[in-house]
Structure 1
Amino acid sequence: MGRATRGVRGIKLMEDDQGVGMDIIDKSHEVDLLTIMEKGLGKKTSSRLFRGQSRGGQGVKVAKVTTKTGKVVFAQVVPDNCNEMIFSSERGQIVKIEVTSIPKLSRNTQGVILMRFSNPNDRVAAATYIDED
C-alpha cells in the first residue's frame, strides 16, 4: 500500500480510549452536543465550549467520568428537528424523553439522571433521536 492511500490520523487515542461518536459542526452555528453515560446520566453541552483540534490531537474532555457515571456511550449533536429520544438498556428497559428536558451543562460535569434502572447491573446500550416528521 502506498503512502497516498493511507490517509491521515484524525485523532490520537490513549490505550483505553474508544471513539463513541463523530459529527460535523459548522463553526458559525452553535449546536448542542448530547452526552450519555452508561449508568443513565447525561447532559447537553454547547459546541462553543469545545476548541478545534488539529490532525492527531487527543481531543478535549466532554464529561466528568467516574464510577458513578460509567463510561460515555453516546455523544452526538442534537438535530434541529428533534424533540424526543429513546434510550434502551442492555436488559431491555426503554425510556422516551423530551430533548428539551435535558439540561445544558458545562463540559466538566457528570450530568443528570436521564434513565433509572430496575436492575442495578443494567447499563445504557443504545440511544436514538426521534424526528418530528
Structure 2
Amino acid sequence: MISDYHPFHLNLLKVAYNNLLRQEPFCHEELSENDAQFQRQLTDLVQAVEQQSGDYIESGQQILSRLVRHYPELVPLLPRDLFWYFGGECLHFMPDDEIEIFQRLDEQRYEAESAGEPFHYEEARAHILGLH
C-alpha cells in the first residue's frame, strides 16, 4: 500500500535545506572548507533521499548529528520529524516523550500497511500532535 511517509519527509528535508542555506554561514559566497563540505554533504543527502539511493539513512544520521554539534544555532530550522526519520544517533537529540509520539505514528502506519489500508502520514501526525 502506498504511503506518503517518504515523500512527506523528503519535503521536510528540502524545506530545511532551503532554510539552512539562507543562514550564516551558508548564505555567503565564500565558505570555510568545513562549511563548504557540510553544504555539499547536505546537498548530496537531499539527492540521495530523493532517489532513495545509497545508504541515505546512515548519511542522514551523520549529517544531522554534525549539524547539532557544529551549528547548534541552526537546529531549530530542522523539523523534529527528521531526527526520527533518520534514527540512529539522531534519537539521542530527542526527548522520550517525543520519541513516543513518533513510535505511535509508526505503529499506526505499520498496522494500516499490514492490513493493506491507505495511511495518510501527514494527517495522522497532525492528529497526534493536536494540530487539528
- Normalised by the length of structure 2, the TM-score is 0.24
Decide which structure has greater strand share.
1
Decide which structure has greater helix share.
2
